[in-house]
Amino acid sequence: MEKSKHASLVGAEKWRATTVIQYVVGVGNGRMVHLLSEASALNSEAAVPSAQTRNFGPDDGLWSSPAARPPQGFFGPTSFPAAYQETEASLAAQGPLAAEANAPPSPSVSAPPSVAELQSMVSMDQGASQLATKVLQALPEKSLLHRSRPEVNFDDDWLASVGDRLLTSTWDTFRSYLGDKANTVKLREMGSRICINTRKTLREDQDDPAAWIESLSGPNLRWETVGVMFLYTALSELSTTSNEEPKRIIRHCTEYCASCITLANMGGSCGTLMLFLMYKRSVLHAWMHGETSLPYWKFHAETVAMLTFSGLHDNRYKSSQNVSSVPTEIRRRIGCQIFIVDKFLATFVGRPPLLTRKFCSIKSPLDLEESAFLSDKETFQRQSQRLDRDGWNTDGRIYSSSLLRVRMMIALVRDEILEVVLAQDTHSSITDIMTLKEKQLELYRRLPHHFICDTVQKEIREINLEIGYPKLLIRLDHLLNMFLLQRLFVKHGHPRNELLRTSFEMVVLTLNFWAQKHIWAALQGKCRWIIMGYATLAGAVLCMELIEPVPVTILPQDSIIAGETYSRSSIIQQLSLLLGYLKTSCPSQTHCSVAHNVRGVIKKVLDHILNNQTVTQPMVEFGGLEFGGNWDYFSSFSALDNFDWLMEERGIEETSGMQ
């Protein structure tokens, strides 16, 4: 019985290897197919024991295997192909006959795989088959289509739009395979079909949304698409992580997403869909391990590497601003998201950014509604033509692309600011800093009026998810740039009144996301990074103000900031709210080490201020702005570093207020 079963397995492996080789080499090369098919049968028989114990992951050697036949990637102006292209151009100028006779093969066209490479492909086919079967057995059920999702999602609207369609088409096409997930023979056959599809180059120039989705789904299903379906399932669970079951689903989906990346890499995939998959995989790891963790930073770096390898960071000559297509728009969105995240992370932890505007030309996406991605060609083009000459929509609404466009503009300015803040070998003058300040203020002034947040009490206290949330997020991004610049001014000896106002507003605005439960429920997966990325940096400045207070004179008309009266007691109240958030959002230290460090510092500061009767408490004066205290110590404080600065020579003891 066992012998028969083993023979059947070998036969199946032989068929599958033959199928792959016939696809790559062609049925016409009959002799080569025949020889390699027989060799694959023997190899698969010998490979069964070792393949069963082998684990395949992101660091597996299959990533760089020559059998994968990966594309050669992007070559820039300093590369050797660029130099030879100039030679070809010069040769072509001498006449067509000379060019045809001497033209070398283009480096962008891969040669057919050799016999040795095909044999290598066959030998690793066994392990890939087992990994593919495992992934397909875990494919989300069609019933998951009916899960509840947040009303508004400004980060993953495109994914939410196509996720349902991808799942539906997959189950409709492969129902006979997926209906019985215990039938591994059928699943291996399905996996082989997906492998063959993945080795085909996915067109990036389709102008019909329906045709583009059809090219990567249904009978054309690819491993990148399977990974996107796992992403869709995982990201749908981020807003319901209050119990353990959604967390388990997210972890499992992240694991299977990584497996899809491994399988897609074996097929040499490196296009827009692959980049999207890798970017969102890094987002899930940030949720699981934290934004400062080594796993997340590795996956973020890998995403940046794929962006530059595929040449998607260079959009200078690929299309005009208002002539676009669905793949182009998704490519622009992903490029902007990666660039924005790179600047946000560099600001949050003070590590060097991996991308810079000097070496990138990433165009912003058109300000289109998400429904355009599921429309037909005519509807997509009609909606594109309704935009103004700068690519903004004219109906005054805020879409996910609208928010992305604005945040990309702010991120480009922040890239310039980070060059000053993080520079090791240059010293910027006050004039340089003032130029950056005026540039950021002018950028914010020139935004369409419906993006501007009016920080009056009613608008702050009653945040509308569809309109108020993106406006507040834009405001916070703007304030963060101003915060970084104002810190530079203080280091050059300028008064800190503007820095304190900005810090106070950032804390008040971010804590309103937590205080308003309908916002918290809809954005639970994002509120953590919003508060950690904005409030904790600004909270450090407010902590310093409590420790080293100086008389601050504020005009009555300027004393109301984001609906709150600026005062020492207001600072204490806001820091107490921030402390409450950090306690409830990160009850354990497993993946919240930064939150625990911040929480500990704020608690010690509040205990020191409230329990020490000798601490001076200057009153806020009204009139001119005067600062009598020496704030030299602040010049050595870097809010981009950790928070140990509060523990140095401050006499703050690790004691509770309860004796």
Average pLDDT over all residues of the chain: 75
Residue where the block lists tokens 């049968």: 41
Beta bridge partners of 314: 361
Instruction: Give strand ranges (E) for 290-443.
Output: none
Residue 103: predicted pLDDT:
44
CA distance 45 to 42: 5
Return the closest-CA partner of residue 52 out of 136, 127, 122.
127
Half-sphere exposure for 181 (CA within 13 Å, toward CB): 11
pLDDT digit string, tens, across residues 383-415? 888 999 888 999 889 998 999 999 999 999 999
In sequence order, what are the beta bridge partners of 564? 561
- Please state, in angstroms and rounded to a whole number, the distance separating the CA atoms of residues 574 and 510: 10
Give the model's pLDDT for residue 317.
Answer: 59
pLDDT at site 417: 96
Sorted by sequence, the CB contacts under 8 Å of residue 335 that are 6+ apart come out as: 307, 312, 313, 315, 360, 362, 363
pLDDT of 81 higher than 60: yes
Tell whether the model's pLDDT for residue 30 goes beyond 50.
Answer: no
DSSP state of 310: T
Distance, C-alpha 105 to centroid of its chain: 37
Distance CA 425, CA 422 (A): 9
Kindly state the average pLDDT of the residues 501-511: 93
CA–CA dist 128, 62 (Å, integer): 9
Please give the pLDDT value at position 233: 87
Is residue 549 within 8 Å of 628, Cβ to Cβ?
A: no
pLDDT in tens, 163-215: 888 999 999 999 999 989 899 989 988 998 898 888 888 888 777 888 888 99
Q: Give the pLDDT confidence score for residue 627 in this predicted structure.
A: 34
* Token reading at 385: 């033509």
Q: Are 525 and 287 within 8 A, CB to CB?
A: yes
Q: Where is 86: in which H helix or E strand?
A: helix 80-93
In this structure, which amino acid lies at residue 650? R
Measured between alpha carbons, how far is residue 76 from residues 73, 81, 134, 295, 360 in Å? Answer: 10, 8, 39, 29, 11
Measured CA to CA, the distance from residue 235 to residue 253 in angstroms comes to 9
pLDDT in tens, 555-612: 777 778 888 888 899 999 999 999 988 887 765 544 566 777 888 889 999 998 898 7
For 274-326, how does the pLDDT look when each residue is reduced to its tens digit (9 = 90+)? 999 999 999 888 888 877 888 889 999 999 999 998 888 787 755 555 567 88
User: Which tokens belong to 415?
Assistant: 């890239």
pLDDT (mean) for 454-470: 72
Burial class (CB in 10 A: 0-12, 13-18, 19+), 292: middle
> Given this model, what pLDDT does residue 6 score?
46
**Both ends of the chain: CA-CA distance in Å?**
76
> No. of H helices and E strands in the chain?
25, 2
Name the percent of the chain lying above pLDDT 70. Answer: 65
How many Å apart are CA 232 and CA 559, to the nearest integer? Answer: 45
CB 538 within 8 A of CB 502: yes
d(CA 191, CA 213): 20
CB 375 within 8 A of CB 349: no
Predicted confidence at residue 459, as pLDDT, reads: 58
**For the segment 552-564, what is each residue's pLDDT rounded down to a tens digit?**
667 777 778 888 8
All structural domains of the chain with their residue ranges = 1-67+115-137, 138-426, 536-647
Note the pLDDT tens digit of each residue in 241-264. 556 777 888 889 999 999 999 999
**Statement: residue 350 has pLDDT above 90:** no
Q: What is the pLDDT of residue 302?
A: 94
Residue 607 is inside which H or E element, if any? helix 593-611
Residue 456 burial (CB count, 10 A): 11
Rounded CA gap, 379 and 375, in Å?
Answer: 6
